[in-house]
Amino acid sequence: MAWLWEYDRVPLNGADRAEAALLAEIEPAVAKLVDRHLSVAKEWFPHDYIPYSLGRDYDKAPWTPDQPRLTGVAQTAFEVNLLTEDNLPSYHYLIRAIFEKGDGAWKNWVHRWTAEEGRHAIVIRDYLVVTRNIDPVMLERGRMQTVQLGYGRPMRALRGLAYTSFQELATRVSHQNTGRYSADPVADRIMSRVAQDENLHMVFYRDALAAALEVDPSAVVKAIAEEVMTFEMPGAGISGFVRKAAQMADAGIYDLRIHHDEILWPLLRHWRVFERTDLDPEAEHARENLARFLGKLDASAKKFEERRATKQERALPR
């Protein structure tokens, strides 16, 4: 953990000191959020979700492309979701650094969150390997490449809380829709279980940021606006991600409409971003930019839906 010691030696500038003070001020509220999370989080075990009776030795029966029950976009979605979960070492590093200046409850949360997140790649990979739904060699090579590439978006605490709120909700929805799209009850059950974890994680980050809103609303609104307008999923570094994300969007697993309607707006409404009357001029300006961005995103979502409907209509048999 030497990197943490090195981080501690970096002198704090004015902005860092302000955020460190804010983290300290809301730490009692965060401690309550951690306790709440621990009281509602349910213990579960990946092995209980895997149909091991379907398993066969790969040395005796190597994988071949005709074996998967999942096909096409379902395979792509599972691959993207798994490789995203695989990059947990980078996410832990990033979040630990974001909240390093916080104490007590912040550290407890980061380690608990990491422990819970670790189950997700375990259960998804075990399902895919036991059921032979994706080439296991490709999966392992993808994991090696993704983890070696890592993921890094250095950011301060408020933007980190905004990002993790949006990202956890986006991951929950993507996992849920992937399970449903698979048309496999086993896969659906697995992804629903993982999505429950993601939802609880989102609620923690959402409510931690809400606590910060009560202390410094202008700083938080600026952080939210910046994150909405620069948001990207952590899987963006996966090889071929743009193509794979486009396939998932065409299938309705995760597209612009979902991002606008089911990710951004529910959280913006929860935080009452457009209802606040206690913002400084800079935050007001950021909120105006945010409103324009959301309008453009909505228009882009409508165009995408129209193009997809046209494409689907043309594909129908005549």
At 317, the pLDDT band (50, 70, 90 cuts) reads: confident
pLDDT for the residue numbered 11:
47
pLDDT for the residue numbered 7:
38
The yes-or-no verdict on residue 289 having pLDDT over 70 is yes
Give the tens place of pLDDT for each residue, 124-148. 999 999 999 999 999 999 999 999 9
pLDDT for the residue numbered 318:
66
What is the SS3 assignment for 109? helix
Sign of the four-CA dihedral 80, 81, 82, 88? positive
In the chain, the number of structural domains is 1
* More confident call, 219 vs 13: 219
The yes-or-no verdict on residue 12 having pLDDT over 80 is no
pLDDT for the residue numbered 151:
86
C-alpha–C-alpha distance, residues 153 and 134, integer Å: 30
C-alpha–C-alpha distance, residues 309 and 307, integer Å: 5
Give the tens place of pLDDT for each residue, 207-219. 999 999 999 999 9
pLDDT for the residue numbered 102:
57
User: 219 lies in a domain?
Assistant: yes
Give the tens place of pLDDT for each residue, 246-280. 999 999 999 999 999 999 999 999 999 999 999 99
pLDDT for the residue numbered 39:
98
DSSP 56: -
Mean pLDDT of the chain: 92
The yes-or-no verdict on residue 4 having pLDDT over 80 is no
State mean pLDDT over 68-97: 93
User: 78 lies in a domain?
Assistant: yes
User: 318 lies in a domain?
Assistant: no
Query: What is the span of the domain harbouring residue 71?
Result: 2-9+19-313
Six-digit token string for 99 = 């909240």
User: 142 lies in a domain?
Assistant: yes
User: 14 lies in a domain?
Assistant: no
Q: What is the CATH number of the domain that holds 278?
A: 1.10.620.20
